[in-house]
Structure 1
């Protein structure tokens, strides 16, 4: 089950921000319907302790729809916080959440919505193992887990590595994890270089 979102091996908060993506046909939302939500959660399920593909597939349609709405609300809040952190100049990337205070409120509420914690299992003669326990449905704990990771991202030095991809038409974010990295992906880098090359030759011709 594949997702339309551009997964760039970024931290989960950034991957969630990037469920808004763009191409030549415009800006798209990978969480626009329950199928899109399920596909994205399947794609990242191995990176989230509270959720497994099995308990995701067990969700009733109404629960999946509610989960999608929670993810969209958190996603829009994170994109507003990211825009604040990087002084994002891209109109097409603007979040539906306009006020910084509103975005912070959504994030903090999401972090406490479905608490989750670690529990140790240890059977004699076997190696101990760690499990995740939640106070509600495990799939909903994913929202709280991503929110918690987001608070860590925005409150620590990693926030300074966050970047808006300024390639033509891109609305994605990424962490600048290498001094020479300027774009979210190689494809965006090629597009940006092509645009610069075109502009240079256009100026030379005129």
Structure 2
């Protein structure tokens, strides 16, 4: 059952939104989306699908196993990241609980590789990544990326998809147009053309 749900979600998933290749947190925020006709998907809906998403983004190792509590933590953090993105897009104050959640994730674990020594390899940088802290590390990395996006040069490009009911985020690439995918752009253009026909017919 879990595999079927995950496979259906992956099949329905839209391609990554513009900017997701530069900011993993943008792709993370877009792991759940509302589609037309009351449909949608959630790529973090099960531990298995959450694990596949983390692996695909290089945020965990094959020896890690996720449980429902871990997937729930990821979904909760996604909600906070989305709230911060929405506040930035709308020009409003971000929710205090979302700021607190991202800051807690940022400080929960070291995100910079640590300095280590062994006789065979000498000094080297290693990422502290014990399996029992895997989700903490992933969330810290995603929180850091979200903070960088919200405070960096791309912050002004952050937008919400302009084709309702889609609720994904993206970085604008072409002037004022802001659709997360060709599918959403086509739907928006079709809706405008239909509205023009109706208007001219009355």
Q: Which range, TM-score by smaller chain?
A: 0.7 to 0.9
Deviation string 1:37-73 (CA, Å, 9 cap, x unpaired) is 123223323xx4xx22x133xx2xxx53232122112
Query: Could you say which residue in structure 2 is the equivalent of 1:95?
Result: none
Query: Could you say which residue in structure 2 is the equivalent of 1:191?
Result: 187
Query: Could you say which residue in structure 2 is the equivalent of 1:69?
Result: 72
Where 2:44 maps in the other structure, the secondary structure is: coil
Number of aligned residue pairs: 185
Aligned counterpart in structure 1 of residue 129 of structure 2, from 124, 129, 134: 134
Matches within 5 A, 1:42-191: 42-45=55-58, 48=59, 51-52=60-61, 54-56=62-64, 59=65, 63-87=66-90, 100-119=95-114, 131-134=126-129, 137-179=133-175, 181-191=177-187
Provide structure 2 residue ranges, at least 5 long, that are not aligned to the other structure: 1-5
Query: Could you say which residue in structure 2 is the equivalent of 1:19?
Result: 31
Deviation string 1:6-44 (CA, Å, 9 cap, x unpaired) is 451601111111112122333443322222312322332
What's the TM-score, normalizing by structure 1?
0.76
Provide structure 1 residue ranges, at least 5 long, that are not aligned to the other structure: 89-98
Whether the 8 Å CA contact 2:163–2:185 is kept in 1: the answer is yes
Matched, 1:201 2:202: no
RMSD: 3.0
Deviation at 1:111, TM superposition (A): 1.3
Q: Which has the higher contact order (CA 8 A, sep 6+)?
A: 2
Aligned counterpart in structure 1 of residue 49 of structure 2, from 36, 48, 60: 36
What's the TM-score, normalizing by structure 2?
0.77
